[in-house]
Amino acid sequence: MSYQKLKGTLDFYQQEAAKMRFIEEKAKTILNTFGFEEIITPIIEPTDVFVRSSGDSSDIVNKEMYTFNDRGNRSITLRPEGTASVVRSFLENKLYVNSPLTKLYYCGPMFRYERPQAGRYRQFMQFGIEVFGEGSAFLDADVIISAYQLLSALGIKGIQLKINTIGDFISRKDYAAKLQAYFAGKMDDFCEDCQKRLTKNPLRILDCKVDANKDIVQQAPKIKDSLSAASLSHFKKVTDILSMMQIPYQVDETLVRGLDYYTDTVFEFILAVPGELQGLAICAGGKYADLVKNFGGPDIPGIGYAFGMERIMMVMNSQSLFVDTFKKTDVVMICLDEDSKKVGLAFANHLRSENLTVEMDYKNYSLKQQFKLADRVNPRYILIIGEEERTSGIFTIKHTQKNTQEKIKKENIVTYISDKNNENS
Ligand code: HAM
């Protein structure tokens, strides 16, 4: 019997795995400059961690969680997102005690039972951040700027930042009531999900993938008319700072986000170029003033976002942004007999200790086959060792790009390769 990966999951191997790590490293480098530190939390959490944070009216909790009872009959969930786990850890470990501001990033797999399609998987990687301890508009803006910097550092083009405010909990309740009154009796041809949302969470009707473009939705009361003066003024400050920093954005009054914990600023970076992936959210997040408190902790606001790493990779592939990202093999050793192989293996490891990438043939392939192998690897140099080279300590080195060959003393080869590298790269 042959096995296949589960629907909605992906294998990453060789270059694709390297691309994933490349994105992760780039993200870490940028976020380190913003003063972030890493947090690693378990992939499994008590189910309640997600139910209490995402909200029992959210799609995630209602139909997307991988939940099971363990052998001790505890309800366990594979994390569908990172924020709730980080908040749980922030509280459990009392991270707020040491510093008034805590800046954390994380990277790892998330699990959602969604209908798989391009860019939507059941297991996917998120790179996310969470900041605790400050409710200022400057922090909101700086968090958004960090995501913008990351996308710029990766060279991604055609991304649009959409931003909105959904106010505080009380304003939102008021707005939800207005929407319920407005939509009542007008929803006969709306999808099944929206019918349920009308009573459970009417804001979600506004960004429903099926119904959002209907005239009735477009003409629905706007959230800004229900917001407190404080929320409106906070949002104006955030957008003013983004303008000052010349970060392009578009205010989207229908952006409400699918998780219940947000308050005030919410945002998404979406792909705006025409094609199959147009409209795909690459990164999304927002502020959550009450989540820590709702978890039973002190009154500490938080804000964060998460990138879908597969989505970044798809966009970078489509924009050919990985070219020249990967290190070429420096040397392939061609060894002409068993004794030369011994010398070759030892020398290969000497070169590796100098941080050079070296490959060799471990079998007893013919010279022709070894050259074929070298062609496939396409190294910068081919080192040839036979009886003559072995006894003289002078190796033959072939420069593959120039197609030239020289004889070099083995103790001078590292310097030779480094010099020539500089010359040709
Ligand atoms: P989210 O919008 O559910 O937010 O997910 C964030 C990002 O993860 C999305 O914009 C998308 O790029 C990626 N993503 C989500 N679902 C999938 C999927 N099924 N397949 C592939 N990629 C996906 C959150 O998860 C929040 N925790 C973000 C946040 C952090 N808010 C505050 N802090």
Q: Is the pLDDT of residue 421 over 60?
A: no
Look up residue 34 and give its DSSP letter.
T
Q: Write out the two tokens for 120.
A: 């939507």
Q: Same domain, yes or no, for 266 and 129?
A: yes
Domain that holds residue 353: 331-424
306 C-beta closer than 6 A to ligand 1? yes
Pocket test for ligand 1, best of 110, 150, 260 (most atoms within 8 A of CB): 110
Cβ of 124 closer than 6 Å to ligand 1, yes or no, is: yes
pTM assigned to the model: 0.90
CATH number, domain containing residue 383: 3.40.50.800
Ligand 1 atom with the shortest distance to the CA of 288: 32
245 plus 145 within the same structural domain: yes
Residue 2 located in a structural domain: no
Kindly state whether residue 264 falls inside one of the protein's structural domains.
Answer: yes
Q: Is 303 helix (H, G, I), strand (E, B) or coil?
A: strand
Longest dimension (CA), the chain: 93
For residue 126 and ligand 1, the question of a CB distance below 6 A is answered with yes
Tokens of 270: 């979406």
Q: Domain check: are 20 and 140 in the same one?
A: yes
- Answer yes or no: do 140 and 251 share one domain: yes
The end-to-end CA distance of the chain, in Å, is 48
Do residue 139 and residue 246 come from a single domain?
Answer: yes
100 falls within a domain: yes
402 with 375, same domain: the answer is yes
Same domain? For 302 and 341 the reply is: no
The Cβ of residue 172 has, within 10 Å, a number of other Cβ atoms equal to: 21
The percentage of the chain sitting over the pLDDT mark of 70, rounded to a whole number, equals: 98
Question: Best mutation site among 36, 49, 59, 81 for ligand 1, i.e. most ligand atoms within 8 A of its Cβ?
Answer: 81
Residue whose Cα lies nearest atom 18 of ligand 1: it is: 120
How many whole angstroms from 306 Cα to the centroid of ligand 1?
A: 6
| pLDDT at 375 > cutoff 70 | yes
Domain boundary at 264, 292, 318, which?
Answer: 318
Residue 149 pLDDT: 97
* Coil/strand/helix, residue 30: helix
Task: Give the CATH number, domain containing residue 149.
Answer: 3.30.930.10
Q: Are residues 123 and 251 in the same domain?
A: yes
Distance 124 CA to ligand 1 centre (A): 9
Based on the domain organization, do 233 and 373 belong to the same domain? Answer: no
**DSSP letters for 218-259:** HTSPPGGGG--HHHHHHHHHHHHHHHHTT---EE-TT---SS
> What mean pLDDT do residues 221-250 have?
95
Residues 127 and 85 in one domain: yes
Q: Is residue 175 part of a domain?
A: no
Same domain, 312 and 338: no
Place of tokens 């992939």: 43
Q: Whose CA is nearest to atom 21 of ligand 1?
A: 120
Q: Total domain count for the chain? A: 2
Confidence of residue 104 (pLDDT cuts 50, 70, 90): very high
Give 274-277's long-range contacts (Cβ < 8 A, gap of 24+): 275/318, 276/118, 277/118, 277/119, 277/311, 277/314, 277/315, 277/318
3-state secondary structure 61-89: HHHHCEEEECCCCCEEEECCCCHHHHHHH
Residue pLDDT, tens place only, 6-53: 999 999 999 999 999 999 999 999 999 999 999 999 999 999 999 988
Question: Does some domain include residue 86?
Answer: yes
Predicted confidence at residue 324, as pLDDT, reads: 64
Judge if 288 and 352 occupy the same domain.
Answer: no
